[in-house]
């Protein structure tokens, strides 16, 4: 497998989940062992030199990216979920996304003060969810060491938004 073959596996769905959205679907990348192993290797090679204690995966496909990295790097994983999906006391952060708004949350105590955290998700679009995730981690006293994505959608502004806030970003595939 190579980068071209890997990118060719990304499915594109027009008008999903709402009209006007061109959805990049990673499901074909993870349903077979060869591209999944390729993804695992690419993620590891991008992140193995980062100093972190935990990885935070953003619901839901970020759980895949985060879990692959956590297992490979021998780190813990923390889940950042949509509102109402986590038990116990949580903190919340609202955000704008490409096709609306949402509230994200993390469990209190999931990140300890001073812990370094890498945030993982499948795709960077407008950056709203990523910024909300960073805000949640920082509210708990954590230090965001960067972000890792499978896909970056350059035209939607998330890359520039996160870089302007000083965050380190890593991604495998880019689309204009």
Q: What percent of the chain has pLDDT over 90?
A: 93
Give the Cα separation of 98 and 158 in Å (integer): 10
Domain-wise residue ranges, the chain = 39-175
Range with the poorest average pLDDT among 21-25, 74-78, 114-118: 21-25
Residues belonging to the active site:
61, 98
Contact 111, 117 (CB under 8 A): yes
Give the Cα separation of 123 and 128 in Å (integer): 12
Q: What pTM was estimated for this model as a whole? A: 0.96
Predicted confidence (pLDDT) at residue 114 exceeds the cutoff of 80: yes
pLDDT, tens only, 60-76: 999 999 999 999 999 99
CATH of domain 39-175: 3.40.50.2020
φ/ψ region of 6 (left if φ > 0, alpha if ψ in -120 to 50, else beta) reads alpha
The neighbouring-strand residues paired with 128 are none
């Amino acid at each position: 497998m190579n980068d071209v073959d890997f990118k060719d596996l990304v499915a594109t769905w027009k008008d999903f989940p709402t009209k006007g959205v061109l959805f990049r679907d990673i499901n074909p990348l993870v349903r077979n062992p060869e591209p999944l192993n390729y993804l695992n290797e690419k993620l590891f090679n991008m992140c193995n030199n980062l100093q972190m204690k935990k990885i935070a995966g953003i619901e839901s496909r970020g759980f895949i990216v985060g879990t692959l990295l956590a297992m490979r790097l021998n780190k813990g994983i923390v889940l950042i979920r949509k509102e109402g999906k986590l038990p116990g006391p949580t903190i919340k952060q609202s955000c704008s996304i490409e096709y609306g708004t949402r509230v994200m949350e993390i469990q209190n105590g999931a990140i300890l003060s001073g812990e370094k955290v890498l945030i993982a998700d499948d795709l960077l679009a407008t950056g709203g969810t990523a910024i909300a995730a960073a805000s949640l981690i920082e509210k708990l006293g954590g230090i965001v060491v960067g972000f890792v994505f499978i896909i970056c959608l350059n035209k939607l502004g998330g890359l520039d938004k996160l870089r302007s806030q000083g965050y380190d970003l890593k991604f495998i595939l880019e689309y204009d």
